[in-house]
Amino acid sequence: MKFFSARQSLPGPRYVLAFAFSLALHGVALLAVQPHRPVRQPEIAPAQDEVMVLEVAPVPLEPTRPEPVAEVPDTSALPRVEVTPTPVRQPAFLAAPPAPTAQEWALASTYRLKNSKRYRYTWGQQVRSMMGTAYEGVDQGLVRFRIEIAPDGRITRLETLWTTSEAAERLARRAVQALPPLPPTPTGQPLIFEQTISFQPFDAGGPPIYKNDCLPDPPAFRNPFAWDGRSAPARADPAPQAALDPQELEECLKSLPEDSIEAESAHDRRQLEQWGSGRLAR
């Protein structure tokens, strides 16, 4: 019969560590196999609105001080000044010139120099006299026509070249339509000319001067090198003017009408406006 001792019946330390490790491994496996349970969050009580009551104490108002009343000076001893209202400025105006008389028309119908110069002026004076009074304002202005008059005095053409006032053009055309019968043209040929009608309160034009009508017109400038593109190029000099016969010139000067002071003044004014321009002095 074999007996064991007490030292041999007890297990060693390594066996105890192995047994403990086995128990820990099984415990971890059991925890992994179990289903995951969410962690319950602690319930939070809903917040309640806090009501705050503010008490505003009234601010005491300061008593207002009455403003001092200004003393009104005594003006009874001062002299009285009468204020006169400014008069309203009346617009400037110019009455229509008188219509040409029968004698003036008779003299105009016989004047042949300078494209029937006197006939053209008398025609313009007749139209302006029928347009009425010219007032300062938007209706004042100028209108220039191109007119053609038949040998028997009938107007066959009236063309507006330019105008600065529609009212002036309208009045001038109305006057032309209402013209009385005109005398025949001085030359017995159709009379074609241009005429400017002034419908302004400060300018009435003026009669022309006749003292230079017997002299020939100065030659008009023509380009001597102008070429029509078909003929052979050649220089075209203006033809020289024939000398005046002294006897014919003397007779022509005797037949000229005498210039009036108004005609000389109007001529000088036109020359001053034409040659006294600031642009020409540069």
Instruction: For residue range 180-222, list pLDDT tens digits in order.
Output: 999 999 999 999 999 999 999 987 678 899 999 998 887 777 7
Distance, CA of 75 to CA of 81 (rounded, Å): 12
Predicted local distance difference test score (pLDDT) of residue 230? 84
- Judge contact between 260 and 212, C-beta under 8 A: no
pLDDT(85) > 50: yes
Q: Which residue stretches of the chain are H helix?
A: 6-9, 13-33, 102-108, 113-129, 166-177, 246-255, 261-275
CA distance linking residue 170 with residue 199, whole number of Å? 11
- What CA–CA distance (Å, rounded) separates 220 from 193? 17
Fold of the 94-215+260-270 domain: 3.30.1150
Q: What percent of the chain has pLDDT over 90?
A: 40
For the chain, the structural domain boundaries read 94-215+260-270
Q: Give the C-alpha separation, 149 to 4, whole Å.
A: 172
Model pLDDT for residues 5-24, shown as the tens digit of each residue: 444 444 566 777 777 777 87
Eight-class DSSP state of 158:
E
Q: Rounded to two decimals, what is the model's pTM?
A: 0.63
**Residues β-bridged to residue 197:** 143
